């Protein structure tokens, strides 16, 4: 288990994309390595096995279970986020070498989760209300507290930096002959790392 790795379990939908990018940015800016199911695109890698491997390698986990709307095509909800949260908590509970894992869990509103996943009623759930800035602030504070690293900046600073990164992103991707729709998870991580390195020169 790597003390630098942070497993990100959140919706991958278009309407959550900016929140997802904010989480990645906050993790990198705080001095950690973001990990998620999108980091590899290997058709020979079974997705469940990949998720289990990433969870086993990650000391920290960020879980957003706020996406509970019914899918328009199927009329059913998507259960990936609660499922991956269960895997993470199960690893912490039943594997002695995983007991040091730490997690932060988000929902859209306080106590809403009790209507669809009441088994985690004893957990400390954070409500971000869909606000990206609040999401960043809570994650930064949690990483600083959970890791006991004094080098993790305050969330307000990171939120301001993320706004600046988002402003500069179109210029950066144009220089690389890319567009927003072309960007992969690896592109996002690379661009954020590059922007932060230039900022700190």
**pLDDT over 70 at 117, yes or no:** no
Spatial separation of the C-alpha atoms in residues 153 and 92, rounded to whole Å: 27
CB-hemisphere CA count at 13 Å for 200? 8
60-71: pLDDT as tens digits: 999 998 876 667
Question: CB atoms < 10 A from the CB of 51, how many?
Answer: 20
pTM: 0.89
pLDDT at 46: 77
Q: Are the CB atoms for 37 and 63 separated by under 8 Å?
A: no
**pLDDT over 70 at 128, yes or no:** yes
CATH architecture entry for 2-199: 3-Layer(aba) Sandwich (3.40)
* Average confidence (pLDDT) over 123-137: 85
- Which secondary structure element, helix H or strand E, spans residue 200, and what is its range? none
Q: Which of 188, 199, 103 is nearest to 160 (CA)?
A: 199
What is the residue extent of each domain of the chain? 2-199
**pLDDT over 70 at 39, yes or no:** yes
152-164: pLDDT as tens digits: 999 999 999 999 9
Query: In sequence order, what are the residues at sequence separation of 6 or more whose Cβ sits closer than 8 angstroms to the Cβ of residue 112?
Result: 127
């Amino acid at each position: 288990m790597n003390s630098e790795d942070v497993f990100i379990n959140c919706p991958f939908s278009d309407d959550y994309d900016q929140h997802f990018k904010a989480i990645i940015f906050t993790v990198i800016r705080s001095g950690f390595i973001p990990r998620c199911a999108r980091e590899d695109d290997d058709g020979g890698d079974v997705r469940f096995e990949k998720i289990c491997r990433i969870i086993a390698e990650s000391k920290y986990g960020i879980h957003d279970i706020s996406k509970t709307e019914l899918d328009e095509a199927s009329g059913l909800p998507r259960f990936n986020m609660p499922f991956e949260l269960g895997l993470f908590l199960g690893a912490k509970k039943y594997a002695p070498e995983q007991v040091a894992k730490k997690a932060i869990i988000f929902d859209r509103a306080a106590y809403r989760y009790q209507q669809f996943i009441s088994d985690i009623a004893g957990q400390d759930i954070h409500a971000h209300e869909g606000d990206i800035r609040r999401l960043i602030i809570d994650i930064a504070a949690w990483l600083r507290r959970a890791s006991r690293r004094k080098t993790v900046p305050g969330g307000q600073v990171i939120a301001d930096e993320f706004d600046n990164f988002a402003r500069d992103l179109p210029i950066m991707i144009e220089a690389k002959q890319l567009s927003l729709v072309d960007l992969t998870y690896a592109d996002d991580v690379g661009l954020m790392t590059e922007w932060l390195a230039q900022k700190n020169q």
